[in-house]
Amino acid sequence: MPSWPTGPGGEQKAVKQHRFGEPEHTGASAPAPIIVRQVRVGIADDHPITRTALRCYLDEQDGIRVVAEACSGREAIDLVRTHALDVLLLDLDMPGQSGIDALTMIRAKAEHVAVLILSGYPEHQYAVPLIRNGASGYLNKSCEPAEIVSAIRRVSQGGRYITPAVAELLAMQVITPSPGGLHEQLSARELQVFLKLAQGCSAGQVAAELSLSAKTVSTYRARLMRKLEARSNSDLTYYALKHRLLD
């Protein structure tokens, strides 16, 4: 079905349709034009080459138009306030305010915007808690470009896009909940700090990477120790390896 993109001011343009082989109607007998509404997409990722590649690819797809970009969580929050968006593609690991923090704010301030996580982290680390916190879907950046298009179309219509990998994770928690799955009670931010500590990062490194104060990281660490029944960073690493939370 042919369509024209919206104009510079966001207005929708009309297109006429007729079946192949039928004469196009003219004059008073012409059918009313059909309004084709495009899916308005925002991209939040701190890598310019990623944003450029996504924009170029998505703008080639029928019915999809990239209208704005952001390179941090703070900019992503501002983006949904200043642009009319249907879907936001959101990375997690960005400088300043992370995508995890941005998701919470966006769901609180712009419920109409579907947030599709597009991250380099594997599904088993963040997909389930982020979907529970309001994300409309979770895609790993290793996915095929066509899957991103399918996911955008799906979530723009109010649905959720669940990949087979994420569906299996959700099913495992429902069918065979693990008695040792203490990490399932962690918030997305707590999980982020936990995984970095489990990977061997010091509190100072975690603070720098997540743009947090050292005091805040210490508070998170103490909370993690209590929730995961751990006594040291080594215990955190052991727990993460036991539950296959590390690559």
| Three-state secondary structure call for residue 245 | coil
Average pLDDT, the chain: 82
The torsion of the CA quartet 169, 170, 172, 173, rounded to 10 degrees, works out to: 120
Predicted confidence band at 75 (pLDDT cuts at 50, 70, 90)? very high
CATH number 3.40.50.2300 given to 38-173: yes
Contacts of 115 (CB under 8 A, 6+ apart): 87, 88, 90, 103, 106, 107, 134, 135, 136
Q: Is the pLDDT of residue 35 over 60?
A: no
Which spans in the chain are helix H?
A: 48-59, 73-82, 99-109, 123-132, 145-156, 164-175, 188-198, 203-210, 214-227, 233-242
| Measured distance CA(6)–CA(21) in Å, rounded | 28
38-173 and 180-242 share one fold? no
Question: 180-242 architecture in CATH?
Answer: Orthogonal Bundle (1.10)
pLDDT average, residue stretch 42-51: 96
Contact predicate 130/101, CB 8 Å? no
pLDDT average, residue stretch 106-128: 89
Contacts of 52 (CB under 8 A, 6+ apart): none
Does the pTM of the predicted model rise above 0.75? no
Predicted confidence band at 1 (pLDDT cuts at 50, 70, 90)? very low
Q: How high is the pLDDT of residue 7? A: 45
Q: Any idea which of 47-51, 73-77, 92-96 has the lowest mean pLDDT?
A: 92-96
Give one DSSP letter per residue of 58-105, joined into a string: HHTSTTEEEEEEESSHHHHHHHHHHS--SEEEE-S--SSS-HHHHHHH
Q: How high is the pLDDT of residue 29? A: 56
Predicted confidence band at 247 (pLDDT cuts at 50, 70, 90)? low
pLDDT average, residue stretch 237-246: 80
Q: Any idea which of 17-26, 93-102, 115-124, 181-190 has the lowest mean pLDDT?
A: 17-26
Listed by start position, the domains of the chain span 38-173, 180-242
Q: How high is the pLDDT of residue 178? A: 52
